[in-house]
Structure 1
Amino acid sequence: MSASLSAALARSRHQLLPSKRKLDDTTASTSTSTSTASSTSRACPATNPSSDACLSPPLVMPPLHFFVRTSSKTLVVHAHPSDTVNSVIARLSGPSPAADLRLIYQGRQLQGEETLASCKVQPDSLLHLTARLRSTRCPRAWQLANDICHPRDPYLLDSLVKEFLSLSPSPALDGELSDHLDVFLLSGAPVALVKFYLSHTSMPVRVVADRSIRLFTTDATLPKDFQVRCLPILLEFCRLLGSTAGRRDLLYQSCRGALATLLDLQEWRTVGPFRQPANAIPQLLPFAKEMAEIVIAGLSSEAMLISSKDLMEFSNFMRALRVQIQDWMGGVGPMPRELYSSPNACSTSNSSSSSSNNTHRQLDGWIHALYSTYKELIEKVNSCLKKLNTDLINGKSVVGESDTRLLGPSRILSVLTELNHFSNIYEDAEMTLVSVLTAHRVPLNALVRHAKRHETFCWLLKHRDILDFESRRNLALMMFPEGRDDYHELHEMLIDRSQLLAESFEYITQAEASSLHGGLFMEFKNEEATGPGVLREWFCLVCRAIFSPQNVLFLPCANDKRRFFPNPASCVDPLHLKYFVFSGRIIALALMHRVQVGVVFDRIFYSQLSSRTITLEDIKDADPLLYASCKKILEMDPDILDSDALGLTFIREVDELGSHKVIELCPGGKDLSVNSKNRDVYINLLIQDRFVNSISKQVAHFAQGFGDILINSKEQNFFFSSLDLEDFDRMIGGSEGVVDVKDWKAHTEYNGYKPKDRQIGWFWKVVEQMPPERQRMLLFFWTSVKYLPAEGFGGLGSKLYIYKSAESQNHLPSSHTCFYRLCLPAYSSLSTMRSRLSMITQDHVSCTFGTW
């Protein structure tokens, strides 16, 4: 066992360290010459024929082959047993050796004048080169580590490891803890445990070794910050097991999974091997490549299925590697194509400075290898999307079926998300990715429409032109919290209808933003009804109050009364800016709860929320008179304008709250005449002052309130810029067109009635004869939905129901709005049906609820 393991371990050292081979060759040649010199010295008596020594052959000791672990890598050393410790240190440290370097073997510092033979250094053993002796601070740790390496009873290995971990200092004592855990590595304990694990002569010992190693991967009693400090040990286990037991070994996979999990924590970058990108990148790259191979294999299967565990490890290793690469790049990037286009691109670059040569050598070590991995992944994703497109055409995966049909392909979005990050590293990565997305719009949109909530997918909104509305909406809504079903997690409100706006303002503005992320639970005072239906009604009523002209917060557009923008004169209310924060929260909460409130924004308002420049065409609906005037100025004959016939200067006159103000559009504007050369500037400044400067505070506070509800409050600008105004209209405003009664009937089911019952026939006949506004009142009474989604009744997410009520004909219909349920008594005539439905579609009735 020892010989095969030693050979395997030797191979693993060569595989792990690309730059080591040259060092090994040097040390090998040096040791050979040393060995020859020593042999010659011992053979000197043979020159004297009379010497007794000539009667027997000289004793020639075989050379030693062992490993030396430094702070960043493991070296293979060939030396002679007669070589001194100092000579080995000198060879390892180079031409300028450090004065305080020491060799540690089995927890003991080797004395410089001792020979390797006298130190009893064994072949294939592991020594550690360190700057100072650590054993003085951790004597018990060294003793335990030595017992693990040379146990009296191998069946107690896990007990020894448990005791070692239990003696670890608190993570708060970072220096002591680092010394303590370093002992485990310096002593060679990981190598010893792996040797025991690979022992085929004793299965019980193998099981105990397995259990001992898993203490570093599955011990839930260890605090997270302590587990992070164990990262170097886990890394060593992964290296040893991967190169000996193999990647399919379950223990190796457990260690790799634990390593990936810890890389998801923030503190991992403070641990020794990962503090410097130059050291961390070669450590992480093999794992990232390995997981990429596993992902490619999964995508190559018929079901294109990748396990959640493998996907998590792939993402964690890729993320950690990306962080280190970006640190190494120093915030500059992406790298130009010539640095990675071919394996020798870096080494063939012309550079005379040593620093540039060093940089190119570092690039040559990993940059092309990672780029090759990126290319393999993007090519595999491309072929998967092509296959999915064929399946969709052939009806093998039909949109609208169970999500299980798209479970495998849905993983493609996670892989695409990782590939998207390469655009920050490689110059052509984004262009390649966009070309793949563009070529496969249909399957991409199918995946996005069916994707479950995952905010990391939102980057796809950068390519909104490739996505359809349903996909853009799904991604945008992923930026909101999911909400909770637990009643105790909801923000509770009890609202008096007569004080609707004031009390709603208090409940929403005084709440911590995080408490609103769980969702809302509300009821009206003196009313029994609660639940989603009441909440939908509250949203509609509050939004109607917010955007009412009586509250001076918003102004309706002259050409479209349904569209609003902030009122520059809103300052008449001392609390107006707080009300804009409140308004932003309400609109965001309505989106989060997927309630259409029938209010939409004017383009000048939406453009500012998305940081887009406002043009003359944008003000057409908000101020048609100003728009027409500006158009005339732009179209006016230059000679007339230059003659100052209009008498225009760079000012804007405002009548506000009974006072007249003159605002200069630029310094000295009142003395600057508008002419044919500066009229474009004048109009742009006029629009800027009228629609931007005058409402900038209102817009900022609205955006603040909106951002409070997002998962990441800083993403509010990205949310609006990722959608067109028309998208936002459909998401928050809903449909205001004529209600399609055929669609209504198609999405209605019955309980107690049959579709051919006369009461059902009368019901739909009365509904068809209603004016559109009455139809909406009935729909609102029935469901608390006044404005249907853009998809109509199909977008409600549930069927509507008509239940047969046991009440007498003297009773009005009632509703359970949460369940979209209308309870309809069995009226005896068409006229009675018409009368009862007419009564519940009165405005004062449709805005209250029946029984719960």
Structure 2
Amino acid sequence: MSSITKTIAGGCFHQQSINGATADHLSNHSPELKFNDTKTTSSELQFFVRMMWKCNTIVIHASREDTVESILQQISSKTKIPIEYQRLIYNGKQLQQQQSLSQCGIENDANLQLVGQLRSIGRSVVWNSADDIVSMILNLCRGESLNGASMIIHNHFAKYMNNFEYFYFFKLMKIPSLLVALYMSPFACNKNIADFSIESFIEICLDLKCKKLQGFYLEILLDFCELLRGVGFTCDEPLYVSCRDGFGNLLTLVGGVPINNPNMKVLLRGVVDCVHEIADELLMYLDLSMNWDTAKGISYKVVLDFVKFCGPLRMGFAEEQATSDESLNYDICYEEDPLFSGVPDQLHIVFIKLLSKMDECLQVMEDCLVNKEQGKGDVIHNGWSHYLIILKELFHISKFYSGAQEKFWGLLLHRKNVLPHMIVRYVKKTDDHQWLLENKIVTDFESRRHLALMLFPDSKDEISGYEMLIDRSQVLAESFEYMSRAKAKSLQGGIFMAFKNEKATGPGVLREWFVLVCREIFNPKNALFVACPNDHRRFFPNAASKVNSLHLKYFIVSGRIIALALKKKVHVGIVFDRVFFKQLAGNYIITLEDIRDADPIMYSSCKQILEMDADYIDSDALGLTFSTEVEELGHRELIELCPGGESLVVDSKNREKYVHLLIQNRFVTSISKQVSHFAEGFADILSCSRLEFFQFLDLEDFDLMLHGSENAISVEDWKVHTKYHGYKENDHQISWFWKIVGRMSAEQKKVLLFFWTSVKHLPVEGFRGLSSTLLISKSSKPDNHLPSSHTCFYKLCFPPYSSMAIMQDRLGIITQEHISCSFGTA
């Protein structure tokens, strides 16, 4: 038995003398109990007894002259635990049963701890374990040599740390202080023993299965951090870094600071101290990241550490504030609480410092990108890839302080050219980038498209994908059969398809199929979609599509095909009207301005009703009621816009409601099933919700992704992105070719491009946006042969025609649209 503790029956803590600095260090952390025999005027007491193994508290009322034994009897009647298995601890000392409360020095509203003793033995094994560790450390500090001390301590931890009572004794006996004192002792081997023991403790904490118990051990790990920091160790000391890392990792495992932990505010203060410390390291990291020479090889662990500690801290602030009457958007202020005073202000200071430093970093990055565009350099710093991680955390912190969000978004708007570059270059599928949706004005089309396309799952090998063999003359019907019976997972894995009686296969044929099947899906003759009168490229679902009994299944298939076209970056030459796009994005409130293109006549009529003189409309000269007539399958039907609408007259007071209900009926209610089935098919191809995809984009973004560039094809841009095989750029045939193409009509250029590549509509970036460079190759065929193509490789082949006239004739034949399809090969 150690000299620190005696038996349960009569034991009390004794501080042991230790030579040198170690003794001085321990004396500040050793428990003492001072008896108070002074009698007070009042003989009644109320105090609290906390059961350590259950974390429950019992309220006790007693006289100062009552004995500890009588209190244990009260507790026994409440807990059903026999007295012999109970111990009361006050101020770190076990109370003796024969003592009175007055002799024990217990005051009103005092807090006592009830520790259970295992029934199978005379003394708790966890008590013994902690006691043995204390004795061992004290002996080591005196210079004694103990073989295998490191493993003995490790084995104690491994065996008993999964016991809630052990945590109590670990703190009660000041074992963290003793281990740090051992680490500081003048004996060389002691530092290694302490280092190994503390590292073992951290590892076991992280491996515990009980999150509640892990939440308690957060206090111990914070103790280690503060003790080591208190004796001068910082991020330069490996053991301190291990303790801080362990504290952060355990915070992550537990899910933040446990709100039911009685020391929650102490833990939050400890976390903010770590954040403040890491922020200083992060500022140095950012300074290094701005210089090409110092940016090489720098570790971004400090970035991850910053995020690791800030997340739980933000959660703790939110939970703490949720219990108060303050709003979540606030200037945090807890000056009235000494445990929490000034803590939130420290995080605000960190936010301001880092935001200012990020402004410097983005300025340097912006200058480098400008120099790159001007051909003055091509410097990409190693640290740039981590700027987004820091910005994301600063975004979350900004929500806690008045005016902080404005400062944050103001910075990104000022550096608007830099953020899109970072998004496109560094954002990965596994990243959480929802925060960028909060203010899309700081992004551009290219970055929003990148974010949206990442919501599609990665394709598997095309050869093992879903197979289709389509008859060109039945492209819609046969595509519907294949796509409707396909499982969503198989379509996500890719498509392998060919046209019947044709040898060509591969990506070029797939691009051609997308263009052809979409042309049929949106053909008004098939009654699935309606083209806008003022813009025939724009479509929305046809309310009369029920003329086809399978129309809803066709909408599911249509959704799948459009999603696949977007995933494959195939521009199909159509766009959606605003009334359709808004509903796909989850917005079912259609305004008058939204229907301008979809129904210009209805738009004009509604606008006149809203602007009409009030007296005139109140005279019922229009004869309007809250009802409308629709034609379905050859007969007209009256639909009430609201209950009793047929008899409710439209007047100047309710006309806005009438217009709203009329628009909702026409563009929401009547096509709700078509929209929902299209959305269902679209979502089949995504790895996220359909709403998330469309909320990343504006209508104009979706137009560019689905339709492609609206600009006329530039022959000069075409030439820049074309290479030659068998020909040279200054050959007669190449000069003739570009002269002929330059004289073609806009539609002929599109047809030639389609024949060459199966791309009819260029991406918004022009030829630069294609997946590869175009190629013109010399064939060995005679003059009477037409050009051929390998669309998969963007390859056009033609023989060395003997004259420009012959070449123009051959090119004229393949630029007839009904011939260009199916003339090439994969």
Select 2:628's aligned residue among 652, 655, 660.
Answer: 652
Q: Counterpart amino acid of 1:821?
A: K
- Equivalence for 1:288: 275
Q: CA deviation at 1:464?
A: 2.3
Q: CA deviation at 1:655?
A: 0.5
CA shift in 2, pair 1:299/1:594, >3 Å: same
Q: CA deviation at 1:465?
A: 2.7
- Equivalence for 2:188: 202
Cα distance in 1 for residues equivalent to 2:276 and 2:53: 24
For residues 291-339 of structure 1, give each alpha carbon's deviation from its aligned partner in whole angstroms, at most 9, with x where no partner exists.
2222222223362767432222211221122222222222876546565
- Equivalence for 1:256: 244
2:300 pairs with 1:326: no
Asked whether the equivalents of residues 726 and 778 of structure 2 are also in contact (C-alpha less than 8 Å), the reply is yes
Asked whether the equivalents of residues 630 and 636 of structure 2 are also in contact (C-alpha less than 8 Å), the reply is yes
Q: Counterpart amino acid of 2:350?
A: T
Q: CA deviation at 1:533?
A: 3.5
- Equivalence for 1:132: 116
Structure-to-structure mapping, 1:621-660, within 5 angstroms: 621-638=597-614, 640-660=616-636
Q: CA deviation at 1:413?
A: 2.5
CA shift in 2, pair 1:638/1:819, >3 Å: same
2:444 pairs with 1:452: no
CA shift in 2, pair 1:390/1:270, >3 Å: closer
For residues 351-405 of structure 1, give each alpha carbon's deviation from its aligned partner in whole angstroms, at most 9, with x where no partner exists.
xxxxxx6xx556525222222222222232234344545566xx45659999862
CA shift in 2, pair 1:414/1:556, >3 Å: same
2:352 pairs with 1:375: yes
CA shift in 2, pair 1:487/1:402, >3 Å: farther
2:380 pairs with 1:405: yes
Cα distance in 1 for residues equivalent to 2:715 and 2:114: 82
Asked whether the equivalents of residues 148 and 160 of structure 1 are also in contact (C-alpha less than 8 Å), the reply is no
Structure-to-structure mapping, 1:266-305, within 5 angstroms: 267-268=254-255, 277-278=264-265, 280-301=267-288, 303=290
Asked whether the equivalents of residues 9 and 243 of structure 1 are also in contact (C-alpha less than 8 Å), the reply is no
Identity %: 41
Asked whether the equivalents of residues 258 and 264 of structure 2 are also in contact (C-alpha less than 8 Å), the reply is no
Q: What secondary structure, in the 3-state scheme, does the structure 1 residue paired with 2:432 have?
A: helix
Q: Counterpart amino acid of 2:718?
A: W
Q: CA deviation at 1:782?
A: 2.6
CA shift in 2, pair 1:516/1:327, >3 Å: farther
Q: Counterpart amino acid of 1:580?
A: F
Cα distance in 2 for residues equivalent to 1:525 and 1:320: 57
Select 2:307's aligned residue among 315, 331, 335.
Answer: 315
CA shift in 2, pair 1:466/1:368, >3 Å: same
- Equivalence for 1:343: none
CA shift in 2, pair 1:678/1:189, >3 Å: closer
Q: What secondary structure, in the 3-state scheme, does the structure 1 residue paired with 2:348 have?
A: helix
CA shift in 2, pair 1:646/1:798, >3 Å: same
Q: CA deviation at 1:416?
A: 1.9
Q: What secondary structure, in the 3-state scheme, does the structure 2 residue paired with 1:422 have?
A: helix
- Equivalence for 2:596: 620
For residues 248-295 of structure 1, give each alpha carbon's deviation from its aligned partner in whole angstroms, at most 9, with x where no partner exists.
223332443354445445x54597996985464234222222222222
CA shift in 2, pair 1:728/1:138, >3 Å: same
CA shift in 2, pair 1:753/1:413, >3 Å: same
Q: Counterpart amino acid of 2:754?
A: F
Cα distance in 2 for residues equivalent to 1:851 and 1:183: 79
Q: What secondary structure, in the 3-state scheme, does the structure 1 residue paired with 2:643 have?
A: coil
CA shift in 2, pair 1:186/1:566, >3 Å: farther
Q: CA deviation at 1:656?
A: 1.0
CA shift in 2, pair 1:719/1:482, >3 Å: closer
Q: CA deviation at 1:756?
A: 0.8
Q: What secondary structure, in the 3-state scheme, does the structure 2 residue paired with 1:662 have?
A: strand
Q: CA deviation at 1:523?
A: 2.6
For residues 408-454 of structure 1, give each alpha carbon's deviation from its aligned partner in whole angstroms, at most 9, with x where no partner exists.
34433222211211244233322232333333334444444544336
Asked whether the equivalents of residues 8 and 243 of structure 1 are also in contact (C-alpha less than 8 Å), the reply is no
- Equivalence for 2:11: none
Q: What secondary structure, in the 3-state scheme, does the structure 2 residue paired with 1:584 have?
A: helix
Q: What secondary structure, in the 3-state scheme, does the structure 2 residue paired with 1:370 have?
A: helix
Q: What secondary structure, in the 3-state scheme, does the structure 2 residue paired with 1:426 have?
A: coil
- Equivalence for 2:565: 590
Asked whether the equivalents of residues 480 and 557 of structure 2 are also in contact (C-alpha less than 8 Å), the reply is yes
Asked whether the equivalents of residues 386 and 440 of structure 1 are also in contact (C-alpha less than 8 Å), the reply is yes
Cα distance in 2 for residues equivalent to 1:184 and 1:811: 90
- Equivalence for 1:692: 668
Q: What secondary structure, in the 3-state scheme, does the structure 1 residue paired with 2:628 have?
A: strand
Bigger mean CA deviation after superposition, 430-439 or 1-10: 1-10
| Structure showing the higher helix proportion among its residues | 1
Cα distance in 2 for residues equivalent to 1:262 and 1:502: 58
Cα distance in 1 for residues equivalent to 2:804 and 2:709: 30
Cα distance in 2 for residues equivalent to 1:220 and 1:802: 66
Asked whether the equivalents of residues 445 and 468 of structure 1 are also in contact (C-alpha less than 8 Å), the reply is yes
Select 1:730's aligned residue among 704, 709, 719.
Answer: 704
Structure-to-structure mapping, 1:310-459, within 5 angstroms: 310-330=302-322, 334-335=327-328, 337=330, 339-340=332-333, 346-347=334-335, 360-361=337-338, 363-364=340-341, 366-389=343-366, 395-396=370-371, 398=373, 405-453=380-428, 455-459=431-435
CA shift in 2, pair 1:417/1:600, >3 Å: same
Asked whether the equivalents of residues 53 and 164 of structure 2 are also in contact (C-alpha less than 8 Å), the reply is no
Cα distance in 2 for residues equivalent to 1:487 and 1:322: 45
Asked whether the equivalents of residues 558 and 624 of structure 1 are also in contact (C-alpha less than 8 Å), the reply is yes
CA shift in 2, pair 1:422/1:584, >3 Å: farther
Asked whether the equivalents of residues 257 and 267 of structure 2 are also in contact (C-alpha less than 8 Å), the reply is no
Asked whether the equivalents of residues 709 and 763 of structure 2 are also in contact (C-alpha less than 8 Å), the reply is yes
For residues 456-477 of structure 1, give each alpha carbon's deviation from its aligned partner in whole angstroms, at most 9, with x where no partner exists.
3342333223433333333444
- Normalised TM-score (structure 2): 0.75
CA shift in 2, pair 1:226/1:302, >3 Å: closer
- Equivalence for 2:807: 833
RMSD: 4.7
For residues 495-518 of structure 1, give each alpha carbon's deviation from its aligned partner in whole angstroms, at most 9, with x where no partner exists.
43456556655666666666666x
For residues 561-588 of structure 1, give each alpha carbon's deviation from its aligned partner in whole angstroms, at most 9, with x where no partner exists.
1111111123344444444344334433
Cα distance in 2 for residues equivalent to 1:210 and 1:736: 67
2:763 pairs with 1:798: no
CA shift in 2, pair 1:255/1:659, >3 Å: farther
Q: What secondary structure, in the 3-state scheme, does the structure 1 residue paired with 2:380 have?
A: helix
Aligned residues: 737
Cα distance in 2 for residues equivalent to 1:380 and 1:136: 55
Cα distance in 2 for residues equivalent to 1:182 and 1:492: 61
CA shift in 2, pair 1:609/1:236, >3 Å: same
Cα distance in 2 for residues equivalent to 1:399 and 1:100: 79
Asked whether the equivalents of residues 495 and 523 of structure 1 are also in contact (C-alpha less than 8 Å), the reply is yes
CA shift in 2, pair 1:261/1:756, >3 Å: farther
Asked whether the equivalents of residues 604 and 614 of structure 1 are also in contact (C-alpha less than 8 Å), the reply is yes
Asked whether the equivalents of residues 87 and 94 of structure 2 are also in contact (C-alpha less than 8 Å), the reply is no
Q: CA deviation at 1:746?
A: 1.3
Asked whether the equivalents of residues 334 and 424 of structure 1 are also in contact (C-alpha less than 8 Å), the reply is no
Select 1:745's aligned residue among 710, 719, 723.
Answer: 719
Q: What secondary structure, in the 3-state scheme, does the structure 2 residue paired with 1:131 have?
A: strand
Q: Counterpart amino acid of 1:686?
A: L
CA shift in 2, pair 1:753/1:207, >3 Å: farther
Cα distance in 2 for residues equivalent to 1:378 and 1:697: 48
Asked whether the equivalents of residues 259 and 319 of structure 2 are also in contact (C-alpha less than 8 Å), the reply is no
- Equivalence for 2:746: 772
Asked whether the equivalents of residues 589 and 664 of structure 2 are also in contact (C-alpha less than 8 Å), the reply is no
Cα distance in 2 for residues equivalent to 1:834 and 1:303: 56
Cα distance in 2 for residues equivalent to 1:155 and 1:540: 79
